[in-house]
């Protein structure tokens, strides 16, 4: 076994940070590392936290860390931020608050950059979760911003998905629910001391009825919190634990895992194929020349893809 | 040439709708169709519209249609919604409003589903834009919801990107700007008759200064609109036209096109490779069996990907 993998498994937090950097950057022996670590995993519970910007996801993650630490859980947080040089500054406040727990080695917090992943952010994030799982964290929270498809893809890999809403978004609520209704296991109305919290709750109830969610085996509970004051957090932990119990006595968890690993496998395959094409068949410079022919409409990308895929000997099944 | 392609080019709107369906579903002769149409394109201007749910993107698209129709432009809108059975209902209101123009054959409006695209939504959306381009639309608007990476990927393929903000999101504004600051060509503060519009404008100005955006060749203007009343729309059209003029006398447009077609080419390549693997090497049932070994931690996806990619004869450069 790779010695870095051994250190990660033994709980060395510097090794863990280094391993995550390799995996995030797709550099060094990251594949061997992932193979070694994969077999050690499968034990952690993964909780996804999503919602619109400003809903208080990081603050809520922070109070959940506190709560689960008191229960003796080792807790990791992977925060997926929208990427830009600027975003570092914009969200720094929350990150700093989360770092309250930086001196506790039962807590590990990591931000992911959202650009520059040839195979997509979801692939890299899920690999990072596998690393943390092998490093013996009991609970891994994945926090994503926004309601975009990529964020939905990331967060739905979690065993339990918390969708945060916040009063005061007005008409917007309908549109937000549309994208995330189907992935929510628990709805959290954060900043519930603001006016409008009851309206959000009523709208959620009727939206769930409309969507048929409340006929399903699991009806997502709606929990009201004020994360900054700790209000409602114990109720939220209860809801998360109820969902974990539901999953354990039900095949829903296994179905979810099947979909998740199917997607993961295809994402990895696409990423590695593109890396192979770049390395062996089409350098960056060659690709740039091709692109020029597309711009002049002398060639088209569809025909070029045909030509490249003809080189794959499909009849030789691996 | 494919006869459907001929009909699309000649302006047959039923043929256009059928062609888009083939392209969106990756069915029939969609590849031959895209190849034929690709060479006819490259003339349309593509305007991306993004912003948080409820910012009024569809309403704004509607007034822009009106404005550009008066200038004699043929205008198409591709609306990318978060997918769910429920979302159809949630956003239907806006779609219906946009259909005011359904009887005008210089206007074409299409919603994209956001799920089930093996190669990603951005690839399918960009192919649909190519079809509309070949069908001789002068202006193609692409509307996306949210600030997720996938939406950013879609919208940054546009020549001009409008980022909508709306007063009343409070602290959220910082986080929203973080993700989209770098892709905005024009900022639109919609619902500007609400209180807080001036604060949003001030914050945008200081965020641009921080991000160094106002030192760049193009400083994104900030336009205030009330789309439901048509307020500020002429100013917005002016800003869009100014950006088009800037692009035409500057190599920024070409640089943007290069990046766009490079990404598009790689996305198509990944999608087609996965489709080939599914057809020739690994049926859905076989993949399901593999996934079971991953779940039992008897195998790992990384090693399986290795095995499959070894079947590609990399030394035989196409």
Whichever domain contains A125, its CATH number is 3.40.50.300
Distances in whole angstroms, Cα of residue A268 to Cα of each of A114, A303, B269: 17, 25, 14
Residue of A31, A82, A116, A279 for testing the chain B interface, max B β-carbons within 10 Å: A82
Q: Which residues of A touch B171 (CB under 8 A)?
A: 54
Q: State how far residue A64 is from chain B, nearest Cα, in angstroms.
A: 22
pLDDT at A171: 45
Residues near B205 by Cβ (< 8 Å), separated by ≥ 6?
Answer: B222
Answer yes or no: is pLDDT of B83 > 80: no
- H/E stretch holding B40 reads none
Burial A126-156 (b: 16+ CB within 10 A, else e): bbbbbbbbbbbbbbbbbbbbbbbbbbbbbbb
- Worst-scoring range by mean pLDDT, A75-84, A112-121, B286-295? A112-121
Mean per-residue pLDDT for B17-22?
94
Q: Tell me the three state secondary structure of residue B107.
A: strand
Residues of A with Cβ-Cβ distance to B262 under 8 angstroms: 287-288, 291
Let me know if residue A274 belongs to a domain.
no
Banded model confidence at residue A134, pLDDT cuts 50, 70, 90:
very high
Handedness of CA B269, B273, B274, B279 (dihedral sign): positive
Best residue of B148, B228, B288 to probe chain A, by most A CBs closer than 10 Å: B148
For residue B8, give the nearest of B43, B36, B45 by alpha carbon: B36
Considering the domain boundaries, does residue A168 fall inside one? yes
- The answer to whether residue A53 sits within a structural domain is yes
How large is the ipTM? 0.81
Cβ of B87 and A38 within 8 Å? Answer: no
pLDDT band for position B167 (50/70/90)? confident
Is residue A205 included in any domain, yes or no?
yes
- Residue B83 located in a structural domain: yes
The SS3 of residue B222 is: strand
Q: Which band of pLDDT confidence, cut at 50, 70 and 90, is reported for residue B128? A: very high
Contact B273 A314 (CB under 8 A): no
Question: Given a cut of 50, is residue B241 above it in pLDDT?
Answer: yes
Q: Which of B52, B85, B294 sits opposite A52 (nearest CB)?
A: B52
How many CB atoms within 10 Å of residue B135? 26
Does some domain include residue B308?
no
Number of domains observed in the structure of chain B: 1
Closest chain A residue to B121, measured at CA: A149
Distance of CA B71 to the CA centre of its chain: 24
Bigger pLDDT: A204 or A214? A204
| A178 Cα to chain B: minimum distance (Å) | 5
Residue A45 has pLDDT above 70, yes or no: yes
Q: Which residue has the tokens 């000649």?
A: B10
Check pLDDT > 60 for residue A10: yes
CB contact under 8 A, A294 and B91: no
Q: How many CB atoms are closer than 10 A to CB A10?
A: 11
| Domain annotation covers residue B222 | yes
Selection from A88-102, A144-158, B276-290 with the highest mean pLDDT: B276-290
Q: Are B134 and B20 in contact (CB under 8 A)?
A: no
Q: Which of A89, A301, A310 sits opposite B264 (nearest CB)?
A: A301
Give the contacts of B244 (CB within 8 A, at least 6 positions apart).
B45, B159, B160
Which residue would you say has higher pLDDT here, A278 or A149?
Answer: A278
Structure confidence at residue B284 as a pLDDT band (50, 70, 90): very high
Q: Is the pLDDT of residue A174 over 80?
A: no
Residue B120 belongs to domain spanning: 40-252
Residue in B83, B175, B281 nearest the CB of A317: B281
Cβ neighbours for B253, distance < 8 A, ≥ 6 positions apart: B159, B247
pLDDT higher than 70, residue A185: yes
Distance CA A282, CA B266 (A): 11
Please give, rounded to a whole number of angstroms, the shortest distance from the CA of A67 to a CA of chain B.
26
Residue A267 lies in a domain: no
Mean pLDDT score across all residues of chain B: 83
| A102 vs A245: which has the higher pLDDT | A245
């Amino acid at each position: 076994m790779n010695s870095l993998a051994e250190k990660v498994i033994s709980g060395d937090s510097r090794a863990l940070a280094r391993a995550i950097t390799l995996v995030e950057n797709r550099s060094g022996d990251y594949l061997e590392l992932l193979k070694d670590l994969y077999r050690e995993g499968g034990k952690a519970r993964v909780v996804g936290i999503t919602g619109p910007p400003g809903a208080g996801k990081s603050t809520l993650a922070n109070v959940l860390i506190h709560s689960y630490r008191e229960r003796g859980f080792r807790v990791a947080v992977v925060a997926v931020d929208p990427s830009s040089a600027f975003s570092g500054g914009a969200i720094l406040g929350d990150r700093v608050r989360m770092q309250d727990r930086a001196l506790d080695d039962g807590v590990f917090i990591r931000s992911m950059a959202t650009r520059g992943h040839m195979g997509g952010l979801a692939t890299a994030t899920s690999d990072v979760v596998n690393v943390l799982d092998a490093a013996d964290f009991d609970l891994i929270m994945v926090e994503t911003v926004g309601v975009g498809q990529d964020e939905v893809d990331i967060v739905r890999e979690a065993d339990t998905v918390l969708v945060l809403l916040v009063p005061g978004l007005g008409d917007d609520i309908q549109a937000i629910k549309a994208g995330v209704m189907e992935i929510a296991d628990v709805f959290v109305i954060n900043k519930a001391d603001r006016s409008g919290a009851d309206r959000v709750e009523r709208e959620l109830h009727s939206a769930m009825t409309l969507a048929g969610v409340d006929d399903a085996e699991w009806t997502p509970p709606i929990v009201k919190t004020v994360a900054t004051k700790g209000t409602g957090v114990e109720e939220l932990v209860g809801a998360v634990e109820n969902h974990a119990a539901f999953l354990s006595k039900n095949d829903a968890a296994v179905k979810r895992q099947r979909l998740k690993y199917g997607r993961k496998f295809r994402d990895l395959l696409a990423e590695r194929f593109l890396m192979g094409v770049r390395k062996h068949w089409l350098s960056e410079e060659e690709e740039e020349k091709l692109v020029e022919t597309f711009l002049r409409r002398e060639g088209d990308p569809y025909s070029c893809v045909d030509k490249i895929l003809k080189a794959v000997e499909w009849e030789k099944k691996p």
